[in-house]
Structures are given as structure tokens and as C-alpha cells.
Copies of this chain bind each other. A is one copy, B any other.
């Protein structure tokens, strides 16, 4: 970490600051130039509050040289993390296709979708049981019953399952769930992250609606610092001024995260775009960008013409998406 002091800083002020930093365990290297004095901080700078330092009257600017995340940092763990879920692997060259309905609605529905996506090559079944909804009056999911139905579908198809947790008090219900999803709205629910860090469950951590990639990695760090390293990062669109799509899918997050961290990265084009017509293109693009997995919504219900909706693909559409995604991966090998 580099701190540049303002012109006019007195030697006493500089010394005061240097002592304060040394008390925090930093080694401080002072370089006095004609116009500015530069302090180089060496040691575990992840403990230094950069905003506080920056705000001191005598400090002009502060710049981190090392990233504030450690366990998630590729510099210290160059090898890709491979998250294993039964026979399925994500990361380090292993790719997983995650598919399923937005919400679990009934046993018939979830079994039907699970069977269809398995046939088309899905590796993992997704389905919402606890649903975070903007409105308290909207359907909030089947909750524990939803998890029970997912487990039935797992039994019927052999597909591992992923579903979202909203409250750490429900952790017991997730005992047989294969991957626990932390939704975008909970990416900085630090208490929840810490509790999940105490489990050994694979965690799929979604990027928050307006969070930077560094903040995403700091949230992964919260989980890892408690001992759980089975983390899958998920890009799912960020909030911008553009209103045509629900969110703006930030696919550059994939190669950036691959540079910064050893953790696997998956992409959710369904929630990002909010429109089924855009999902095939964006799933293909995610594969081309190097994603370690893709998570798409698939519904059944061919009888209901009305339900051909929103962001969900039909099983037929999913079949084609899956094929393209795998072929694109082969091109890039």
C-alpha cells in the first residue's frame, strides 16, 4: 500500500502517522521527494482501513498495490479451485450446465423439468424454494416443501440440486441440498456469509446488483475466512441506466475474475436479461467468455400457451442452447 502525503506535512505529523501504522504491524518505507513524501506500507495491509487513511488531513492519496482479498486471490493460489458435487465438477477446465424452473411449483412440474433438462445434458438441477420478492404480497415460494420436492427430483433423476437460502435459521433444511445459493440481495449479508463459511457445503455466491468484482471477492473472502473454500462465483447482471434488459450482463466479469481468483465462475443469463429471447445468445457468449458453468431457467408446461414467458426457455430451446455451449467450449480448448 502506498500513501502519498500532502505538501506542507510537517516531520512531526509524518512521524505520528508512521508510528500509528507501525503500531498496526506495518513496516513503513519512507521516500521523501522534492514535492511529496511517499510512504510504502509493507505487511498485512488487508487490516488497514483504506478509507480512514485516505481521509486523514495530511494524506493526499492512498493506493493499494496488493488486493485486499487473500484466500480468494489467485496470486497466492495460482491453481484453479475445482468444486466437486458428487460426480459433477466445476472449475479447472470442468464445466457444468445448471438448469431448472424459476420456482418449484409442484412435484409433477419439478420431476418433468428435471427429466427434460437431464436428457438435454444438464449437470445440475436448479429451482427456487425460498424466493426473495420485492413485494411482501407476491408469492414467496413453497419454502421447505419446495426443498422436499427438489429432493424428490434429485432422487428421480440423480441430478444434484441447487437452491437459495435467505435466512441462516433455515440452514437445517439444506442438509441434503448439494449447492447453497446466496442471492444477489444477500451478497453483503455478512452474518449469513460467515455462517455458511462454517459449513462445508458448496456455495454459489451471486454478485450483488450494484457490487464491484472486488466486493464480490471480499464476500467470498468472508466465507473462506471461516474455513469453507467451496465457492462458485456467479455473474447475473448489474443495474445500469439501460431499461431494455432487466439488468446488464457484465460478461467481462468472467475473464476478470479468472485473472483475480482461482474460484470458478458461472453466468446466469436468465435473470440478467429477463427475456427468454436473449438467453440463447447470452448463454453462448458466456461460454465463449470462458465461464465454468451456465445457469438457465427452463420451464415445462407445453399445454399452457400463456406460460411461454419471461426469462425461461422451453426444454427444446434449452437442448439447443446446451449443444451450442458445448461446441463453443470445444472451439476454445
Indicate if the CB atoms of A31 and B38 lie closer than 8 Å.
yes
Count of chain copies: 4
CB–CB B35/A38 < 8 A: no
**Chain A interface mostly:** mixed
Asked whether A275 lies within 8 Å of B225 as measured between CB atoms, the reply is no
Contact indicator B47/A137 (Cβ below 8 Å) = yes
- Given the known interface contacts A36-B40, A222-B136, A241-B241, the answer about A282 and B289 at a Cβ–Cβ threshold of 8 Å is yes
Q: In the complex, are the beta carbons of A65 and B61 less than 8 A apart?
A: yes
A63: contacting residue among B4, B55, B210, CB under 8 A = B4
Which B residues are in CB contact (< 8 Å) with A47?
137-138
Residues of A within 8 A of B (CB-CB), count? 105
CB-CB nearest in chain B for A20? B306
Interface residue ranges of A13-61 to B (CB < 8 Å): 13, 16-17, 20, 29, 31, 33-36, 38, 40, 42, 44, 46-47, 49, 51-52, 54-58, 60-61
Q: Is A111 on the interface with B (CB-CB < 8 A)?
A: no
Instruction: Knowing A166-B190, A242-B212, A259-B277, say if A135 contacts B221 (CB, 8 Å).
Output: yes
Q: By the criterion CB–CB under 8 Å, are A288 and B278 in contact?
A: no
0 or 1 for each of A314-333: is its CB under 8 Å from B? (1 = yes): 00000000001001100110
Cα–Cα distance between A54 and B306 once the two chains are bound (Å) = 11
